[in-house]
Amino acid sequence: MLLTIDVGNTHTVLGLFDGEEIVEHWRVSTDPRRTADELAVLIQGLMGAHPMLRTGSVDGLAICCTVPTVLHELREVTRRYYGDVPAVLVEPGVKTGVHVLTDNPKEVGTDRIVNTLAAKHLYGGPCIIVDFGTATSFDAVNERGDFVGGAIAPGIEISVEALGVRGAMLRKIEVTRPRSVIGKNTVEAMQSGVLFGFAGQVDGIVNRMAAELSENPDEVQVIATGGLAPLVLGEATSIDVHEPWLTLIGLRLVYERNTAAATSQQ
């Protein structure tokens, strides 16, 4: 089985694949202070409770990480605790098959490249990936599967926290759908502004991006992913499909591409 690990700024998502099927997944907080040993205990503790691992073991690892300090510790985890299994950390030099057509490709996060690979594999191109994480990122993929650029906006949780910190009469709220767009109290007014405001942002950016990406904007597939995507799915009219495990699927594809290349060279 293949263990995939997607480390973001706020959360880390782990997925266990049996072939092409994801059979288990976990979401934990990302803590850059965790040592390699602590990360190993966390990973092994999560997997130890899974029944499929009683008769088998992890035979591969695929990791992408946007937090440098955590990436350093994960290298140590793979060396000390999984040294006998193939491990692929997505970084320069790793084969992804994705051409990055930006001014400085090294600036593009590895998660966005992995998402591009998975989106092309699952849905073809052109497409737009909307990733609802710490930031809300919009990634444009052309018909050949190239990453051509995108947009980055503050994420939902960041915006809610900012309102609570900077607004003297405001506070942190649960982001959920209010009774109506016109809020009847402060909490509902904030919920309305956040939820419908983000939905409008998504539709506005996606529509503009699709018009630049293709002569026929209607052919551009829009894919939502990320932990906060379910909050906006019912309100943003431009989203075509929700793929919660897009990054994990992309990691599986990167792993297969690189381990197959290594095997063929032996």
- The catalytic residue positions are 111
- What is the amino acid identity at position 148? V
CA 173 – CA 18 distance, rounded (Å): 39
DSSP characters over 193-248: HHHHHHHHHHHHHHHHHHHHH-SSGGG-EEEEESTTHHHHHTT-TT--EE-TTHHH
Give the strands of the sheet with 60-65, arranged side by side. 21-29, 11-18, 2-7, 60-65, 87-89
Residues in the chain: 266
Give the orientation angle of helix 110-123 with respect to helix 246-264, to 10 degrees. 90
Alpha carbon distance 231, 235 (integer Å): 8
Q: Which of these, 109, 114, 116, 119, lies nearest to 71 by C-alpha position?
A: 109
The conformation of residue 33, written as its DSSP 8-state character, comes to: T
Give me the numbers of helices (H) and strands (E) for the chain, helices first please: 7, 10
Closest by alpha carbon to 78, among 36, 125, 18, 48?
36
